[in-house]
Chain A
Amino acid sequence: MITIQNLDFSYGKSPVIKNLNWQLETGKIHGLVGLNGAGKSTLFNLIAGWLKPSNGTIMYNEIRLDRSICALMETNPQFYPMIKGQEYLDVFKLKNNQFDISAWNNIFKLPLNEVVDNYSTGMKKRLDLMGILAMNREILILDEPFNGLDFEAVRLVQQVLPLLASKGKTIIISSHIAESLTAVCNSISLLRNGEIGLQIRKDSFANLSEMIDLHGGIKTEDFPL
């Protein structure tokens, strides 16, 4: 179980995460939705240990979560300029020699001999995901993994994530499109005003939109039409 308790974080004087509490079962896929600027990426950075909270704890199976068991995929993948896809993945093989690049590339279908600068947005995203998979960490944190992907690649991600969860990986993903999360997640949480406002289990996904609307979302009568 990943247990986040009383988490606080601010950028200067602007608080982003405020006394956040969140519990996530291991070996499952957890979705996170929220408005732009709600603090999803900040929360992911805090869980991955890339940022330090000003207050609160993040525990993994009752011990403090160590950043070495997390892999974070950023919304906009960054690559070293002029690096080839193969070279990028070679770096991750340094720590995980078992990772079979060509077998995975049969699925991801990337021109690994081409420099990354020539890749499309979706190809960069797929390469980034391959790197994350090659890291073979216990917790995978994917910040908007569906952004910029074509429908085939979305389907590919939707197929690979449950397989990883079945191997014991805990996956936390965010998206602005609730439908892309309902297809893969075991639970979906709503981040609002710096805290988890709502956590919905898979059996209640049918009512997801209504529940988000009830929890402070925009109502149809609010539109100035």
Chain B
Amino acid sequence: MIRAVIKISGIHIQRYLRIINELGIFRVIFLLVIVAYVFKATLQPGMLVLQSMLVLSVVVQTHFTRKDFVLLNNLGLNTPVYFMLLYLLFISPFILLYLVWPDYKALGILISGTLLTTLFNRPFRKVRKIQLPSFRFIPAGSWEWRVGLRQYFPVFIAAYIIPAVLYQQDYLFAASVLLIAITSNAFLISHEPVNMLVTVKSSAVACFWYKVYLQCAFFTLFSLPLLISSLILYPEGIRPVLLLFINSLVVQAFAVSLKYAGFRPGEKTPYNMAIIFLLNFTFIIPALLPLPVIMAVIFGRKAISQLKLIAG
């Protein structure tokens, strides 16, 4: 068992190195900066618990999205003991850190959470068999919104209900616009097959601009009720809300550019969300406001050339 764990750990490490290699130097540096910042920020008394929870969340996510169920079953390794050894090996630097520090609360959370996770070693059915809503009013070419609304419609409902109920809190309108912006950005992490893309428009440039238009149009459409309500209830505070809206609108265009600049038909690029998420907050520092515009232009050009290459 231990030999198998060491062997498979080696394979996983090589696999992760290959994935990192695929990401490219820019994304790797960006991710390293984020990881280093998070690590440094949580390396303080009282913050190690948060750090252990973050590490645990990575373990949980990795465990429940793994695709080696059949392989491990065939090898007789789909057992809690195997996963315990494997995960303990990977989190051992953190276990050592919490022992040396010492922070037994963080240690307890990490070890107990990991051990609990290993008890669930059957794959979950991801999709419910119940009839899910369709949003037929959205044009067929905007599959991101048709699918995204189906998956995240409770988020949109919450984005309207919370400010409606707590309308005395003026910041909630802006927070809801931000929530809609980030949620609609997340619609863009899945990439469609080439056949769908070539059917929408006859040229790559037209296709790209059509996608930018749809993304911005629907974001505006769904943010408009919140903007209007904010304008009516708090006209004196409309400036930051408008600033946020315009920034989010540019980030929508950037998100489309980023998706097609690294277009991978049939795949997902969740790591794109790290940079998109941060750019949604540039409205807080006005000096950073041109950043999403500059990035949208840079990645927009890349997106068009990538689409020309893939879709003609």
- Contact indicator B134/A86 (Cβ below 8 Å): yes
Instruction: Give the size category of A's interface with B.
Output: 20 to 34
Q: Are A82 and B150 also in contact (CB < 8 A) when A50-B310, A117-B126, A117-B127 are?
A: yes
Q: Are A80 and B196 also in contact (CB < 8 A) when A68-B202, A90-B140 are?
A: yes
- Contact indicator B127/A93 (Cβ below 8 Å): no
B78 → A minimal CB distance (Å): 23
Bound-complex Cα distance A80 to B127 (A): 14
List the B residue with the shortest CB-CB distance to A93. Answer: B140
A118 → B minimal CB distance (Å): 5
B308 → A minimal CB distance (Å): 12
B187 → A minimal CB distance (Å): 10
- A88 close to chain B: CB less than 8 A: yes
SS of A interface (majority): mixed
B 234-267 to A, binary, CB cutoff 8 A, 1 in contact else 0:
0000000000000000000000000000000110
- A113 close to chain B: CB less than 8 A: yes
Q: Are A87 and B200 also in contact (CB < 8 A) when A50-B194, A68-B312, A94-B140 are?
A: no
- Contact indicator B141/A94 (Cβ below 8 Å): yes
- Contact indicator A118/B129 (Cβ below 8 Å): yes
- Contact indicator A72/B195 (Cβ below 8 Å): yes
Within 8 Å by CB of A95, from B190, B191, B194, B199, lies B199
A114 → B minimal CB distance (Å): 8
- Contact indicator B143/A80 (Cβ below 8 Å): yes
A 113-125 to B, binary, CB cutoff 8 A, 1 in contact else 0:
1010110000000
List the B residue with the shortest CB-CB distance to A77. Answer: B193
List the A residue with the shortest CB-CB distance to B189. Answer: A81
List the B residue with the shortest CB-CB distance to A131. Answer: B195
**Chain B residues positioned under 8 Å from A113 (CB to CB):** 131, 134
List the A residue with the shortest CB-CB distance to B131. Answer: A113
Bound-complex Cα distance A135 to B194 (A): 12
A 83-125 to B, binary, CB cutoff 8 A, 1 in contact else 0:
1101110111111000000000000000001010110000000
List the B residue with the shortest CB-CB distance to A89. Answer: B140
Bound-complex Cα distance A185 to B237 (A): 71
- Contact indicator A49/B312 (Cβ below 8 Å): yes
Bound-complex Cα distance A91 to B131 (A): 21
Q: Indicate the member of B140, B141, B191 with the most A CB atoms within 10 Å.
A: B140
B191 → A minimal CB distance (Å): 8
**Chain A residues positioned under 8 Å from B198 (CB to CB):** 68
Bound-complex Cα distance A78 to B267 (A): 8
Bound-complex Cα distance A83 to B127 (A): 12
- Contact indicator B199/A94 (Cβ below 8 Å): yes
- Contact indicator A115/B127 (Cβ below 8 Å): yes
Bound-complex Cα distance A87 to B192 (A): 13
Question: CB within 8 Å of A: which of B119-141?
Answer: 126-127, 129, 131-132, 134, 140-141
List the B residue with the shortest CB-CB distance to A71. Answer: B195
- B146 close to chain A: CB less than 8 A: yes
List the A residue with the shortest CB-CB distance to B191. Answer: A80
Bound-complex Cα distance A131 to B200 (A): 13
Q: Are A92 and B312 also in contact (CB < 8 A) when A78-B265, A82-B147, A113-B131 are?
A: no
Bound-complex Cα distance A88 to B150 (A): 14
- Contact indicator A83/B146 (Cβ below 8 Å): yes
List the A residue with the shortest CB-CB distance to B195. Answer: A131
- A132 close to chain B: CB less than 8 A: yes
**Chain A residues positioned under 8 Å from B147 (CB to CB):** 80-83, 87
- B79 close to chain A: CB less than 8 A: no
- Contact indicator A78/B146 (Cβ below 8 Å): no
Question: CB within 8 Å of A: which of B59-116?
Answer: none
Known: A91-B199, A94-B141, A131-B195. 5 other contacts (CB 8 A): A72-B195, A82-B127, A87-B146, A118-B127, A135-B199
User: Which B residues are closer than 8 A to A by beta carbons?
Assistant: 126-127, 129, 131-132, 134, 140-141, 143, 146-147, 150-151, 190-196, 198-200, 202, 265-266, 268, 310, 312
Among all A-B residue pairs, the 6 with the closest Cβ atoms: A78-B266, A90-B140, A78-B193, A117-B127, A80-B192, A82-B147
What are 29 A-B contacts defined by CB distance under 8 Å? A50-B194, A67-B312, A68-B198, A68-B202, A72-B194, A72-B195, A78-B193, A79-B193, A80-B196, A81-B268, A82-B147, A83-B146, A84-B132, A84-B134, A87-B134, A88-B143, A88-B196, A90-B140, A91-B140, A91-B141, A91-B199, A93-B140, A94-B199, A95-B199, A113-B134, A115-B132, A117-B127, A118-B129, A131-B195
